[in-house]
Amino acid sequence: MLQGWRRQQSARFLKESTVAPRLRLIRRLVEFTGSYPWQWNPADGEAFIDHLRNGEQPRSVSTARGYEVAIDMFTDFLLDSRYGWAAVCEERFGQTPQQIFHEGNSIAHRVDYEGDPRRRALTFDEVQALFDAADARPQQIAARGVKGALSAARDSAVLKMIYAFGLRRTETTRLELPDLRRNPKAPQFRDFGVTMVRYGKSSKGAPPKRRSVLLVPEMDWIVDTLDHWLTDLRPRFAPGKHPALWVTERVGRLSPRSVNEAFVAVREVAGLDQCLDVHSLRHSYVSHLLEFGYPARFLQEQVGHSHAATTAIYTHVSPEYRNKLLESALRGKLGADWDVTA
């Protein structure tokens, strides 16, 4: 059954990183219940989710729903007459598979965003504190007489690029030298006016999404950062002909995990909230560009979202920005002589 389900998903060109966890989940459910899929009933599903919710490491609502959806897909596969598993189970065991989750015992999807509410965008001051800490790390490491100063300088540039272009960590690590391009409409940004993202987050079964991210004037400071990386720092890694923009000491491609570790190290030095992660920089990019006055459609294209609602989830504008909008609206309604202190 599992091999057939794996082949069905592989035929849809789903990634192994999607398929493998689903197969492990079904095996976990078999182990938890001590029974086979054609023996499962709704009570088994409820007991499994209850166990996950109240165990040593309670699962979030979105994770538990994902488990329910995956189990439903597996039972859908078993019940599909084109594969014949229901008939085989009836003939051999006198039982047929059934859906164990239904409207009465599955998690209702009531809101668009169910992620950790602590995840948020950084304020402008927090971004500055993060980058100040990142810039200070190479010298601090060198002063201790240990290795890692050059890598810390690279990590500082990586984190700055993620924020300046609103990139995902995987997108950033997959960038190559030709992906940095000149924007003819903005020659002042030199060879860094456009970043070509060729490995954007893909939809299920689809190839990676491509997009071009334009550098905006408010982020023009990244030009000097990238120029310093390419002309001074990167050559010191002796990358040879390696095409990756971000390379390691062993002349390999920087990994997303390394980006995570770099962010955590800098976050600790800066004394920032532990709920902040690398993806918070992408949230910050969207929120800050909105405050700079860029339209929502432009932001959606920049970050590569298929739906505007997804971009809206990333938006965390400051109270000051909202007050400015309110003041502007009141002046438009009450006249230019309206006194904000009245």
168, 169, 267, 288: the catalytic one is 168
**What separation in angstroms does the CA of 298 have from each of 19, 213, 294?**
34, 10, 7
119, 190, 211, 279: the catalytic one is 279
**What separation in angstroms does the CA of 259 have from each of 42, 82, 147, 161, 279?**
42, 45, 18, 12, 11
181, 190, 201, 211: the catalytic one is 201
Contact assessment for residue 259 and residue 172, using Cβ atoms and an 8 Å cutoff: yes
What tokens does 44 get? 């088994």
What tokens does 136 get? 């200070």
* Residue of 242, 267, 240, 265 lying closest to 254 (CA atoms): 242
E-assigned strand segments in the chain: 180-181, 194-200, 209-214
Reduced DSSP (H G I as helix, E B as strand, rest coil) percent helix, strand, coil of the chain, to 5: 60, 5, 35
What does the alpha-carbon distance between residue 64 and residue 315 come to, in Å, rounded to a whole number? 26
36 catalytic residue (yes or no): no
CA-atom Rg of the chain in angstroms: 25
201 catalytic residue (yes or no): yes
DSSP 193: S
67, 163, 199, 314: the catalytic one is 314
279 catalytic residue (yes or no): yes
Per DSSP, the chain holds a count of helices (H) and strands (E) of 14, 3
Q: Which residues contact 273 (CB under 8 A, 6 or more apart)?
A: 118
65, 154, 169, 282: the catalytic one is 282
What does the alpha-carbon distance between residue 194 and residue 183 come to, in Å, rounded to a whole number? 6
305 catalytic residue (yes or no): yes
Phi, psi of 40 (to 5 degrees): -65, 150
Contact assessment for residue 161 and residue 225, using Cβ atoms and an 8 Å cutoff: yes
- By annotation, the residues acting in catalysis are 168, 201, 279, 282, 305, 314
